Structures are given as structure tokens and as C-alpha cells.
Structure 1
């Protein structure tokens, strides 16, 4: 059975550290602690005194003064790792944690999980060819020597880089290493840890290189593990659940996140708010609890993107200056059909094609697979279609040699609708108002990744009102936008009631509009 030596990097909250160590060792595992050299000696003495009798706890040989983004974080990790290797010969795995981490699974679950596959768990992707770094310096982390900390000596940090750039003092990455980057929170097997330590003792040149790189805790272990371990023995992921905002800041969890955290396919989570005392207490008891059945739904990240995305309006692509001057065409009629149930809108435009022989396109700004003619590449990606939307639609009019075109557009894309309304063309909008049952909304949540087949019912119950409100919010936003020539048909309306707005929207005779409205399968889910 797996026995875990937890490498605990800490800098505050002595009582929390003591509780964490006692909790983890009570589950049959080990703990090696590094307490930041910047913290008070009295706090460290209190931790040592409280855990002195616990033979499953060890301490790093000495304390390093740690700084964010600095080599000191790697040095502290290595000191604690060496202490764990020496003190716990029965440890099969070494798991790096911070004081802000809490277990979201039981010890039994963690041991069974690690016994399942003989692999290392560490996120490590190509440093130069991935988009892992969202903001700030990229290759400058490696090719320049960093003697100043960006957090504490910002002016000197950037001044030093500028001088090195001006003087041509760049350096090469070690030739035999393929630089990797990823989360600093890993779980490695004993033999991997021993290989890493031997490599550190043998390759002083590599150690000197990393000592002056910037944020080496995201590159050091990630690169060495890839260098020493075959790819098939590495799972490129962390076992610690953490999320970041669009601005690169870690998401903090609070008391009401308990059920969501337990449903994630991870063993620990960070960061837990210091004020989330109830969450900490519940998670603290969890690790030593027996016979817990965890329902893994893993919807945390998609749910976070959904909830934060509700504060934004449409896509972030702005038209180019030359696009603003372009036009679909003064004499042309563009008819936009919007509906949250995409299959309903697609059925409607398909009937429009059959009954009127009018060109009609499905969700060309929302679905990459929407069939489109070859227009020289402008249609090749969603990004290109959205960015060059007027040019694309003008080319579709030209391709089909028509003055009338129908297209589907998602209700969330109000900015695209507004852009077309600002064109010289005649633009009309039809909203299809559908009924949304709870079963449909649950299915929608699963289709878009907000929930899984094993998501607990309590989570579903909390999610449903939010999704329902979101659908209603999009509809209300359309009506508040003040669009001219805005028509609506409703699932709950009769054929006669839907015929009139359809005829006006499509500018077709009433009998043809009635033929479309009478399609008995239009609203079937």
C-alpha cells in the first residue's frame, strides 16, 4: 500500500500547521516540514514542541528565507525532501503541499489512487511552445540572470534585465535539458525523488543555472522529472486542485465550496480561505474518515468559467478599423435567428431553406463545424469568422448571389448583433422563445461540462436556478437592447400566433410562413 511523505512548505499559522501534521500522520502517512526562515522563531519552536513526540514528522535541516518566484522556494523543497527521504524509508510517494492546502479526499482514497498506477504526477509542458505563462516575462525567466526579486525590488529586477539585454548578456539553456513548466504542486514516487537528488548532487552546473532563473519552482522539478523519467511513467497533471482567474490570480475557496471540492478528481485543494473555518473543519475530519464514497463529477473549472463569464458581454474581439468601414450592402436583407436551443433554430432555418429556397446558415459564429463554402480561408476558424464578421457575411451574399440571407446566432452574442445592426444593410432579428424543463437544463449542464453524470443532486439543485436565470437574462438583454425589426415566436404559442411574426421577419407570404410555423417537430427535444 502507498505511504505518502507530505512535503509541507509553510510560513504562518502554527496552529494550522500542527493540526495539518497531526491529521496527515493519523491517516498513516508522514510529514516533513519547512517553516519559512522569515517567520518568527517562537512560532517555529511552538511547532517543533507540539510535534516532538510524533515520530512520523520530520523537519528540514535548516530554514531558508523564502521569496516568491525565487530559488529559495526550490531550496526549501529540496531540504524538506532530503529530510523525508532520510527519516521515512517506508515512504513510497512524496507529495508537495503548502500550508494553504487541505485534503478533499480520505487517506484511503489517496492510497488506493496512488496504488492504481506506478507513475509520477507532475504538470510539465514545453516551456517555449505552450501557453502556460499567461502574463509577465517568458523566455526572459531563463536567458537572463535574476539576482533581484520582482516583488520586493521591482525597479532593480527590470533594470537588471534591461542592462543584460542592452549588453547582450543572454545565456543559453543547458543543451541536454528540454525546459518544461507547470504547477509546482507534484506527487512523485520514491525512486524518482532519489534520481532527482542524485542528479542535483552530480550536476552542479544545472543547479547554478536554476539558482538565477525566475520562478524556478515552476520549472526545476518539472524539467528534471521529464529528463530522468520515461514519458509513459508521467501523468502530466497535479493532484492538487487549484484554479486561476484570467489575471493569473489563484481562486480562493470558501465554506459553500465543500460539495464542489469533494467532486473534483483531485486529492488536495488550494487555496482555502483563512476565514473558511467551517470548510477547514469539515475537510480536516475528512482525511481520516473511513468508507467514504466520492462521486467524481469534476465540473469545478467549467462551472467557474460559466459563473465568471456571466459578467462579460459577448466575445472579446473588436473589429479592425478597416472592418468598421466595410458593409454587408445597403440593398441586402440580413435575418438573424437567435435561440438558446440550437437544435430548434437549426430546424427552423432548415425549413426556411426547404420552403423559400433562401440561403440560410447555422451557428457560424458559435460552431466550428458549421458547413460553409470555401471563402479563401476567412471561414476557417471561429476567431477569423468573428473578427471579420461583416466581410464574411458579405462574401456569403456574394457566393450565393442573393440579397437575402438567414443565419443563426447565440443569444449571448449581443455585440455581434449590434455590429450587424450598425451596418447599412436591412437587418432583422427573430428570437425563438422556448420552454426549459429542469431535465433539459440538467442535460445542457452536462453537455457543456458544468456537471457530470455523477454530480451530486445537491449540486444540481444549486446549479439549476443559476442556469435558468442565465437563460432568462440573455433573453431580457435582447429586449433591452432596443433592436429595430425585432420579432418573436414562442413554443407555447399557436401556429397562427407564430405565423404573423415569421412572415414579417422573412418578408414572405403568409401561407409560406404558416407552412414553416406548422412544422410539428420544430420544438421537440
Structure 2
């Protein structure tokens, strides 16, 4: 059976460290602790005294002072790994943790998971071709030597950097290494750790290279593991659930995140708030439990993006110069149907196509595979359609040899609507107002990744009011914009009442409009 040696890097809160070590070792696993030398001798002695009677606890072979972005973080990890490998010969896996991490599954579940999957778990993406690094220096992390800490010695860091660049003091990456990058939270098998420790002793050139790279905790193990281990034995992912905000800061979890965390396809989560006492207790009790069945819905990231994105206005893409100058044409008219229930809009469009000669297209800015004519390949990319929206619609008008066209737009696309209204062409807008049952909203949450088949009912009950409010908010924003030539049909009105606004929108007779909206299943789910 799998037995885990946890590798814990920490620098504060001795009571929490003692609690974490006791919790993780009470089911037969082990822990090796490196406590930052900056934390003080007395604090470290308190930790040692609190755990002195626990045979499943070891301490790093040496304590050093650690700094963000420095080699010291990797060296501290190596010291803790060396101690764990020597002290715990029965450990089958080594799992990297911080003091802010907490288990989100039972030890029983973790052992079974690792027994069933004989793999190393570590993010390792190609340093140069991946987009893992979003901002800041990239290649310069490797080809220049970094002796100073960017956060505490900023002036020296950048002076050293610019002098090396000015005088061309670039260095070579070791020839046999493909540098990889990824999260520092990994889980490795014993054989892999033994290979790494042996490699460290033999390859002084590689060690010297990484000692002066910038942020090596994101590249050192991530490079060595695929260098030493066959590709088919590596899962390029972390088993620790973590998310980052738009500002690059880790998302912090609180007491009300328990249901979300245990339903993710991960073994641990980071970062747990120090104030989340109830969450820590519940997760701590869960770790030692037996016979728990977990329903994995794994909607955490999409749910976070949805909730943090609510209420934001503005463009997703900035305009290019050719888009700013493009126009549909002064004598042309774009008819936009806005509806959150896409199937309702599509039914209406099918009737419009059957009863009129107006070309109609469905959600061409929302659906990758919406039916479109062949226009040289641009129609295959949803991003290109959106980025070059006016030029794209002008091409469609030319293709259909028409001056009028109907398109469907999701209510979330307010920026699209505004952009087309800013064009010198004519523009009309028809909103389809629908009713949303809890059953429909549940299906919507699952279709969009906000929930899964295994999401608990109580979690859904808390989520549905937020989704309903978000949909209502999108409709309110469109009405508050006070667009000209705006009409609305509604599920709550009769075909006779809906015929009048549809007739104005399409510029057809009310009799023809009534025939279009009289479809008995138009609003059915």
C-alpha cells in the first residue's frame, strides 16, 4: 500500500505546523519538515519539542534562510527530501506541501489513488514554447546569472541583469537538458526521488546552472523529472488544487468552501486562510475518516471565473486599426436577436428563414461550430470572428448578396452589441425574454462547467440564485443601454402581443410576424 512522505516547507506559526504534522502522520504516513532559518531558533525548538515523540516526523538535514525566487527554496526542498528518503525507507511517494496546504480527501482515498496510478505527478511544460510565464522576464531567467533577490535587493538585481545584457554575458543551458516549467507542488515516487538525489551528486554542472537561475523552484524538479523518467510515467499535473486571481495572487479558501474543495479532483488544496478554523477542522477530521465516497464534479476553476467575472463591463478584445476603420456599409442593416436560451432563438430564426428571404445566422460569436459558409478559413476560428467582427459580418453580407441579415447574440455580449451600434450601418435589436426554472438553471450550470453531475444539491441551491441574478443583470444592462430600434418579445405574452415588436424588428406585416411567433413550442425547454 502507498505510504506518503510529505515534504513540508514552512516559516511561521509553530502550533499550526505541529497540528499539520500530527494530522498527516496519524494514518501511518510520514513528514519531513524544513523550517526557514529566518523563523528563529526558539520557534524551531518549539516545533521539535512538540513532535519529539512522533517517529513519523523527520527534519531537514540542514536549515537555511529562504527567499522568494531564490535557489534557497530548492535547496531547502532537497535537504528535506534527503532526510525523508533516509528516515522513511517504507515511504513509496514524496509529496511537496506548504504550511498553507490542507488535505481535501481522506488518507484512505489518497493511498488507493496512488496505488492505482503508478505515476509521477508534476507540471512540466516546455519553458520556451509554452505560455506558462504570463508576464515579466522569460528567457532571461536562464541565460543570465541571478545573484540577488528581486524583491529585497531590487536595485542590485536589475543592475546585474542590465550589465550582463549590455556586455553580452549570456550563458549556455546544459546541452542535454530540455528546461521545463510548472508548479512547485508535486508528488513523486520513491524511485524518482532516488534518481534525482543521485543526479544531484553526479551533475555538478547542472546544479551550478540552476543555483543562479531566477525562480528555480518552478524549473528544477520540473526539468529533472522528465529528464530521468519515461514520458508515459508522468502525469503533467499537480495533485494540489490552487487558483490565481487576475492579479497573479493565490485564491484563498474560507469556511464556506468545504463542499467545493472536496468535490475537486485533487488530494490537497492551497491556500487555506489562517482564519478558516472551521474549514481546517472539517478537513482535518475528514483526512482520518474511513469509507467516504467522494463525488467529483471538478467545477472549481470555472465557477471561480464565473463568480469573479460578474458585473464586469468592457471589451474582451481591443480593436485593431483595420477593424476601427471597417464598416458594414451605410446602406446595410444588421438585425440582432439577443436571447440567453439559445435553443429559443434558434427556433425563432428557423421560422424567420422559412417565412422571409432574410439570411439568418445563429450564435456566430459564441459557438465554434455554428453553421457558416466557407469564407477562406476565417469562419473556423471563433476568436478571429470576434476580433474582426465588423469585417467578418461585412464579408457575410457580401457573400449572401444582401443588405439585411439576422444574427443571434448572447446577452453577455454587450460589447458586441455596442460595437455594431457604433457602426454607421443601420442596427436593430430584438430581445427574447424567457423564464428560467431551477431545473433549467441546473442544466445551464452543468453545460457551462459551473457544476457537474456529482455536485451536491445544497451547493446547487446556493449557486442557482447567483446564476439567476447574473442572467437578470445581463438583461438589465441591455435595457439600461437604451439602444435605438430596440424591441422585446416575451414568454409571458401571447403570440398576438409578440407579433407587433417582431414585425417592427423585421419590417414585415403583423400577420407574417404572428405566423412566425405562433410556434407552440417556441419557448419550451
TM-score of the two chains, using structure 1 as the length reference: 0.98
Instruction: Please give the residue correspondences for 1:397-436 in structure 2 after superposition, counting only pairs within 5 Å.
Output: 397-436=397-436
Q: CA deviation at 1:314?
A: 5.3
Structure 1 stretches (4+) deviating beyond 4 angstroms? none
Whole-Å Cα distance in 2 between the matches of residues 378 and 318 of structure 1?
18
Q: What is the 5 A alignment of 1:104-143?
A: 104-143=104-143
- Runs (5+) with no aligned partner, structure 2: none
Q: How does 1:317-332 map to 2 (within 5 A)?
A: 317-332=317-332
Aligned to 1:500: 500
Deviations 1:23-62 (A, max 9, x none): 1110110010000011111100000111111111000111
Q: Is the 1:313–1:412 contact (alpha carbons within 8 Å) kept by the matching residues of 2?
A: no
Moved more, 282-291 or 370-379: 370-379
**How far apart in 1 are the matches of 2:137 and 2:247?**
14
| Aligned position for 1:261 | 261
Q: Equivalent residues in 2 for 1:166-245 (5 A)?
A: 166-245=166-245
Partner of 2:291: 291
Classify the secondary structure of the residue corresponding to 1:488.
strand
Residue pair 1:314, 1:412 contacting (<8 A) in 2 also = no
Indicate the SS of the match to 2:112.
helix
Alignment CA distance shift 1:315-1:27 (3 Å)? farther
Find out whether 1:304 has 2:299 as its counterpart.
no
Bigger drift between 465-474 and 419-428 goes to 419-428
In 1, distance between residues paired with 2:315 and 2:293?
Answer: 40
Contact 1:135 1:248 in 2 (8 A): no
Aligned length: 525
CA distance in 1, matches of 2:364, 2:160: 49
Residue aligning to 2:371: 371
Deviation of 1:250 (Å): 0.8
Q: Which runs of 5+ in 1 are unaligned?
A: none
* Residue pairs, 1:58-97, within 5 angstroms: 58-97=58-97
CA contact (8 A) 1:329 1:424 kept: yes
Per-residue deviation at 1:310?
1.3
Cα distance in 2 between the residues matched to 1:115 and 1:311? 45
Could you tell me how far apart the structure 1 residues matched to 2:160 and 2:367 are?
Answer: 47
Paired position in structure 2 for 1:99: 99
Distance 1:253 1:328 in 2: 48
- The Cα shift of 1:298 comes to 0.8
Instruction: Provide the TM-score with structure 2 as the length reference.
Output: 0.98
CA displacement 1:123-153 (0-9 Å, x = unmatched): 1111111111112111111111111111111
DSSP 3-state at the match of 1:8:
strand
Q: For the residues of structure 2 that align with 1:124 and 1:466, how far apart are their CA atoms?
A: 36
Q: For 1:38, what is the secondary structure of its paired residue? A: helix
Aligned to 1:386: 386
Q: 1:350 & 1:240 partners in 2: Cα distance?
A: 47
Which residue of structure 2 lines up, in the alignment, with residue 445 of structure 1?
A: 445
Q: Is this contact kept in 2: 1:378–1:385, CA < 8 A?
A: yes
What corresponds to 2:334 in structure 1?
A: 334
Deviates more, 1:367-376 or 1:462-471: 367-376
Deviations 1:41-95 (A, max 9, x none): 1100000111111111000111111000110000000000000010000101100
3-state SS, counterpart of residue 5 of structure 2: strand
- C-alpha distance in structure 2 between counterparts of 1:111 and 1:455, whole Å: 24
Q: Is the aligned partner of 1:359 residue 2:359?
A: yes
- Quote the residue 1:522 is aligned against: 522
